Amino acid sequence: MNPDKEVLLHLKACARRSDFQLGMNVHTLVVKTEFDFDVYVKTCLLCLYVKCGYLEHAHNIFDEMPEKNVVFWTTVICGYIEARRYREAIDTFCGLLEMGLRPNSFSLVRVLFACGRLGDIGSGVGNGLMDT
């Protein structure tokens, strides 16, 4: 088996099981073997940290990504929502819009949920949700 595929499989398994400690060990191996530049590895790391609730780690991985697509942004948004950090979810969504990306239907529904939880639907409208 290709080592980078093995790393991906391990990271996905850690994310599915929410096994933060093992995921951290795999992340250390990833850095040592320089697989941390691979976009698929970064995606798996992002998912791992979001799933385990380590949003600061997830955001660090996110910040390191040279090109961020809507899926990456939505993964971070969902992590903030799962942690009930609704304002940060909305702020992250605003960052997605500021980058000129078009949100998908899933990210729209999730950010509307966050706005609703804050009792601030007007914020969603003001942040361009009605324009998408």
pLDDT score, position 104: 92
Give residues with Cβ within 8 angstroms of 121, minimum separation 6: 112, 115
pLDDT score, position 90: 92
pTM of the model: 0.74
Query: Which 3 state secondary structure label does DSSP give 50?
Result: helix
Contacts for 72-77: CB closer than 8 Å, 24+ residues apart: 72/43, 72/46, 73/101, 73/103, 73/107, 74/103, 74/104, 74/106, 74/107, 74/110, 75/46, 75/47, 75/50, 76/46, 76/50, 77/107, 77/110, 77/111, 77/114
For residues 90 and 21, give the distance between their C-alpha atoms in angstroms, rounded to a whole number: 29
pLDDT score, position 126: 52
Could you list the pLDDT tens digit for every one of the 132 residues in the chain?
Answer: 344 666 666 677 777 777 777 777 776 677 666 666 677 777 878 888 888 888 888 888 888 888 888 988 998 999 999 889 999 999 999 999 999 999 999 999 999 999 988 887 665 545 555 555
pLDDT score, position 85: 92
pLDDT score, position 108: 92
Backbone angles phi, psi at 12, to 5 degrees: -65, -40
pLDDT score, position 1: 39
